[in-house]
């Protein structure tokens, strides 16, 4: 396949010195984030809570958008420097209200982590008729990020981190029917599409932001059993997935895709803060490093497939996303 390269960043590991067992706190080290403002969608559940805890512990102010304010506040109780505000990623008006309020505050946005997501859900649709996984995981974050662009510009060196997944290997964007209006719905195929969309979003976002030093990264956090991401799965489905991945090895051990929550947040923290990524962007990362670009036929349980980093596909998705969200990038 054609090697993917965007500016100075090649989709090839840089040998960061970290690995699959590295924790979020180990990645951050002694970095001081006082004065920095961060928005973390999904920041009150699973690895999102750990992401919030670690960044707040370094002094950053964290804003956590949430559908359930009470649930978010309960989950984040005891963590300092955290604000919670209402947003529903499947409701465009909710996104507009949240972003308008943030822009009206006059604050710069140093780091935006698009981390909220749903997985393998039954067929559900938002008020526009859009399939829920595509709507929540990609379109909602697309609208949120574009709306917040002036605050990202104000930071004069911002990063956008988009949580994708190794599940992108299940397929790319179904451009002629992304919302399964004519195609028989498959919950795993829909999830794969949304995760490919997350990766492609980082490609096109970085292209548009690099001149203003707004850099974007996508990542696979690992498979973390101890979260509620798989809440729509039947118990036996989740058990089968975990057993296939674990192969009898303890969670968190080198050589298995399964990670603890502390390990699962590590690549997010690295993409958001590491000086090793200065001047880079538009790449897909995993295990606290830039991932290897592999062929479509690869059987490797790692790496990024071509349909998730292809620049032409990224532009097609960008144009489709502008149309579906009625959100125009005008910066």
User: Is residue 191 annotated as part of the catalytic site, yes or no?
Assistant: yes
How many Cα atoms occupy the beta-carbon half-sphere of 112 within 13 Å? 30
- What single DSSP character describes residue 138? I
162/184 Cα distance (integer angstroms) = 28
- Active-site choice (44, 130, 185, 191): 191
What's the distance, Cα to Cα, between the start and end of the chain in Å?
Answer: 33
Alpha helices in the chain (DSSP H): 24-28, 47-57, 69-75, 92-104, 132-133, 140-147, 149-154, 187-209, 235-246, 261-264, 266-273, 311-325
Please state the φ and ψ torsions of residue 84, each to the nearest 5 degrees. -120, 135
How many Cα atoms occupy the beta-carbon half-sphere of 305 within 13 Å? 22
| Burial class of residue 189 (count of CB atoms within 10 Å of its CB; 0-12, 13-18, 19+) | middle
55/249 Cα distance (integer angstroms) = 30
112/63 Cα distance (integer angstroms) = 10
Secondary structure class of 89 (helix, strand, coil): coil
CA distances from 98 to 47, 66, 179 (A): 23, 10, 25
Q: Which residues are catalytic?
A: 191
């Amino acid at each position: 396949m054609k090697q993917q390269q965007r500016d100075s960043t090649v989709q090839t590991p840089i040998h960061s010195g970290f690995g699959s067992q590295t924790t979020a706190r180990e990645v951050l080290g002694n970095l001081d984030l006082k004065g920095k403002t961060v928005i973390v969608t999904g920041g009150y559940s699973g690895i999102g809570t750990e992401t919030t805890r670690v960044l707040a512990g370094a002094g950053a102010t964290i804003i956590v958008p949430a559908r359930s304010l009470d649930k978010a506040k309960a989950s984040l109780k005891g963590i300092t420097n955290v604000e919670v505000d209402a947003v529903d990623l499947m409701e465009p008006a909710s996104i507009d209200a949240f972003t308008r309020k943030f822009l009206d505050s006059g604050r710069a946005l140093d780091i935006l982590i698009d981390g909220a997501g749903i997985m393998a859900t039954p067929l559900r649709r938002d008020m526009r008729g859009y399939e829920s996984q595509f709507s929540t995981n990609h379109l909602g974050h697309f609208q949120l990020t574009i709306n917040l662009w002036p605050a990202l510009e104000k930071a004069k060196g911002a990063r956008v981190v988009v949580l994708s997944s190794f599940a992108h290997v299940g397929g790319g964007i179904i451009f002629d029917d992304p919302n399964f209006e004519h195609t028989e719905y498959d919950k795993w195929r829909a999830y794969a599409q949304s995760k490919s969309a997350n990766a492609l979003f980082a490609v096109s976002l970085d292209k548009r932001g690099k001149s203003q030093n707004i850099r974007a990264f996508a990542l696979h956090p690992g498979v973390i059993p101890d979260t509620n991401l798989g809440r729509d799965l039947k118990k036996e489905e989740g058990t089968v997935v975990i057993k296939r991945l674990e192969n009898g090895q303890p969670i968190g051990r080198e050589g298995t895709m399964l990670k603890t929550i502390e390990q699962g947040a590590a690549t997010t923290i690295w993409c958001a803060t590491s000086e090793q990524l200065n001047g880079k962007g538009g790449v897909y990362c995993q295990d606290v490093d830039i991932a290897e670009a592999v062929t479509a036929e690869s059987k490797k349980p790692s790496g990024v497939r071509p349909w998730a980093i292809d620049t032409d596909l990224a532009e097609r998705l960008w144009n489709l996303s502008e149309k579906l969200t009625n959100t125009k990038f005008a910066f």
